[in-house]
Structure 1
């Protein structure tokens, strides 16, 4: 009699244990992937339930983010400079919320820039770079507009699942590279030698930068000197008589 009561108590306790276990597992998204609603309503032996739960870890892991992703969105950040300019180093970081394993590149980057990873170690191979977060970096050497398309992939070789279409689909960027700012012309040094009644002016001539000699009586109005200088090598020279009694100022300015 005692043995019967003990077995009955254990049976009741086991029954309620299974009930609470099933109620707890019903709240688990993992169980919903393992069992159908009909199986949840049926009475299963403990061994069967434990066997279902003890699936391989790979079966319980979350599917790759690219599989059926519906929250794909891109984040693009221009670092160091808000605009690209010839001769100025630039860094553009990009990523996607679906965390791909690789990106494929279509189109041409501005000369002087390259696609790599955050550690600057990887390069594009056959149009694909194996990284989750990529950057475009370098010093542009050519002005213009460069259109590129970056496509995320679930595999590290540019294959597998990708971002859903039509939106947002692939990442499309138009990189506008501005021309470099022209450096201001620096006039060569003007040497002045006064001997008796003669004033001699000389300066170095640069074939890439053309300057002309101008004069003024009041430092306000400047007029070109009509006399053509004599040139010997890279040195230009002009001589003026000092018998006109007028005070003059001279300087070099870029030719128009």
Structure 2
């Protein structure tokens, strides 16, 4: 039997090639067809028969992949492509493949699946290792959370666990629509200052809002050049509070960009944050002078500091000191206040407090 194998192979190959030539020449003018009748009388048969013979011959010569390539796979989705869904609304899509040389027993999945959606077998068979599932039909379901266009590739396999290809992968684009509104910057953030050795805190959430009542904003911050915040400064994403305590090594100014995001859209703002050394608070001498029924209080001042005239009836109690409500006049490096003696208690103690903040 092995003795005749070569001749049988040659015969099959010759007949296949002849059938293929016949199929091609049928598309040309009749003189060419007549010339080929000397090679194979089958070319005189009706067109339908010749086409059928040629197709069988080609398939018989090809490999498994060639047979599959001669068949056009038909992918069926419900709903039909193009596929779209709405963010925040339940979504479900089934898919299958037809007209393949072998029925699909498993599917592999690649690409980007929209957040909130999952791919599985139509009966809920879970994905294995996040790569494939063993089932004849597929299901994409869930509630999408992010808008955009997402492309995934679904490839059917003849056997379980992605064995034996049966058709080329199917490219499926899922568009997630959104009626989401962007967060709004309500009030630009003013430039800020911090002092070394003292805690700094700034709540940026008060500067942003979102028109969508159910959206929760999260906050982030970085320097405007895209680098991270200085080591001493951090932000709490859920509250939008910037906080930290700078040291002497942090003296200088940085430009900060803050962002409020609803998970899809965002708004941002920029401001300057300057870190300085603390100002030495110098106590000032209070000079009192009585002029008739007026008590004149005078004291020296330094640029960058703030002064308050305070009074008490019990100087031993530090909590008893309170600002004295009176007009203060500033002239050059001095301030003064004129007090009517008749408006003051019989016994009173005065002092001037100094602060680096107003």
TM over 0.5: no
| TM-score of the superposed pair, with normalisation by structure 1 | 0.40
Of the two structures, which has the highest relative contact order with CA contacts closer than 8 Å and spacing of 6 or more?
1
Find the structure with the greater CA-based Rg: 2
Q: Which has the higher strand share?
A: 2
| TM-score of the superposed pair, with normalisation by structure 2 | 0.30
